[in-house]
Structure 1
Amino acid sequence: MSITASVIKKNNIHICGKQDALQTIIFGHGFGSSQTAFAALVRAFEQDYKIVLFDNVGGGKADIDAFNPSRYSGIQGYVTDLSDIIKSLQLSNIIYVGHSVNGMIGLLTANKYPDYFDKLVLLGSSPRYLNDTETAYTGGFDMEALTGLYNAMSTNYYAWASGFSALVMRNPDQPHFAEAFAATLSAIRPDIALSVAKAIFEMDHREDLAHCTIPSLIIQTADDVAVPVVVGDYLEQHIPGSRKVVVNATGHFPHIVAPEEVISAIRTFI
């Protein structure tokens, strides 16, 4: 198997859209989600851009055998994966749209290889989810809350997945959104989900923000339990030349519950 073929299999890569387009949009999904979350956005951009979709190792339909707890004990393993995808597919002029943790994965990759990237879109992203009392930083979670979350995941993973999905998706009048997220979350092996959750919720990439040289758009909802509005403000203040848009949506998944708002914001930016 060639290197490219092995990378495609590992990350369940799908390529669509305009194959000879000058720019490529890569969509990166958040924890517990998969590339299918971007269906509405793909439809909006596929006529004008080459589109690359992938699943993070440990989620979606990525190769389960590729998951290594030490490699993915932080998000640098995913940064290496994204770098491998870009190099194997010989991509350039990239517009990277990263939801949640994949926003930071995209930023860290762009910091390492800025020549590949044209634009970054950080969708409900955070550099650190834990509050930091020493620096008066609000991430949205304290260690007690995270310990409770880990215990719930360990005790009854599927019950936790159902409750967590409803909590972060919001939009209780449209329960099918939370049910779909619960399904992708429940498809992840519980031990892998717990390992990845710890890597994400305990990361701290605040110092990396200042090194970003790629024009960046921060898309935030007004009511996101995982990423409070102040985190979006923090990103805008610390990523040079970035700008923030608050979309008219609630929850952590605006690209699912209010895709037109997100599409409009991205179109204006790119």
Structure 2
Amino acid sequence: MDVRSRNNVVVTGRDDGPTVLLAHGFGCDQNLWRLVVPELAERYRVVLFDHTGAGRSDLSAWTAERYSTLDGYADDVLVLCRELDLRDVVLVGHSVSAMIAVLAANREPDRFAKLVLLTPSPRYLDDEDYRGGFSRADIDELLAALESNYLGWSATMAPVIMGNPERPELGEELTNSFCRTDPAIARVFARATFLSDNRADLAEVTVPTLVVQCARDAIAPPEVGQFTHERIPGSVLVTLDATGHCPQLSAPEATVGAITAFVDGP
């Protein structure tokens, strides 16, 4: 299957600029990048896509077996890069796609010039001295609620993930995005997301990396961003004065500023 059709690939921006590949998070699609794309497209060639099973991707290409772990998504990123002959790619991964980006870059480091990990979390579960932000009981309750009433879960969780209660339209947008996702696909992706542990993969990253976190994030607290930064050799950590887990929507100017300063820097 042609990757452009399978993953609803959209290419915009400058033909002569660096290639920036934007990978969205759980329950989302490429539309959540829309506030940062115009400015990025003035400087770079921007490649957008929907993960298999999300947005306007070809849902017939999704299988529970392939996408029960983040490895299937990382393989898709690499296939996309190969089929579009993308080289020296700046891969920007949001939320769970930050770890998908890490997996992809570790497999084919020569394909990527830089990584930008936006509100990453290598493990959501707390573990001894590691604080991921959730206990096992929290995750079990979250997954049980998602599996029993996905639409209700979406309406409850999306505003928590987005933060910014004084801007309810942001939470509503994320709720609507979640609700467009097939519940069966969302259940599998949620388990792959919230039960994954990619802490050991961080030390294997050899690509120059920027870690971007928000000062106030209920899903990935500052300790998680600090942990990610400390484990990736030579990485840079930027903390945005922003609230929520989706700064590309809640703080697009600051998000663009962090990305462009890193892409254009040494």
Q: Scaled by the length of structure 1, what TM-score is found?
A: 0.95
Of 54, 59, 63, the residue aligned with 1:59 is 54
AA at the equivalent of 1:150? L
Q: How big is the shift at 1:43?
A: 0.6
Partner of residue 153 from structure 2, selected from 148, 160, 169: 160
SS of 1:211 mapped into structure 2: coil
- Measured in 1, the distance between the counterparts of 2:124 and 2:116 equals 19
Long gaps (5+) in structure 2: none
Question: 2:16 aligned to 8, 20, 29, which one?
Answer: 20
| Equivalences for residues 72-83 of structure 1 within 5 A | 72-83=67-78
What pairs with 1:71-220 in structure 2 (closer than 5 Å)?
A: 71-133=66-128, 136-220=129-213
Give the structure 1 partner of residue 3 of structure 2.
Answer: 7
Q: Distance in 2 between matches of 1:73 and 1:142?
A: 21
Counterpart of 1:69 in 2: which secondary structure? coil
Structure 2: how far apart are the matches of 1:101 and 1:154?
19
Aligned residues: 263
Which amino acid in the other structure matches residue 226 of structure 1? I
Q: In 1, distance between residues paired with 2:197 and 2:147?
A: 24
Q: Could you report, residue by residue, the CA deviation over 1:117-157 in whole angstroms, capped at 9, with x for unpaired residues?
A: 11110000111111112xx1111111111111112112221
- 2:246 corresponds, among 253, 257, 265, to 253
Q: SS of the counterpart of 1:248? A: strand
Secondary structure in 1 matching 2:239:
strand
- The 4+ residue runs of structure 1 with deviation greater than 3 A are none
Q: In the TM superposition, what is the alpha-carbon distance from 1:39 to its structure 2 partner?
A: 1.1
Give the one of 25, 43, 48 matched to 2:43.
48
Whole-angstrom CA distance in 2 between matches of 1:213 and 1:201: 25
CA distance in structure 2 between the aligned counterparts of 1:269 and 1:206, rounded to whole angstroms: 23
Cα deviation, residue 269, structure 1: 1.1
Q: Secondary structure at the match of 1:61?
A: coil
| Corresponding letter in the other structure for 2:75 | T
Residue type matched to 2:179 in 1?
A: S
Q: Tell me how far 1:78 sits from its aligned partner.
A: 0.3
Structure 2 Cα separation of the partners of residues 78 and 209 of structure 1:
17
Q: Deviations over 1:151-203 (max 9, x none)?
A: 21122211110110011101111111111111110011111111110011111
Q: Which whole-Å CA distance do the structure 2 matches of 1:147 and 1:223 have between them?
A: 24
- What SS does the aligned partner of 1:145 have? helix
- Residue identity (%): 39
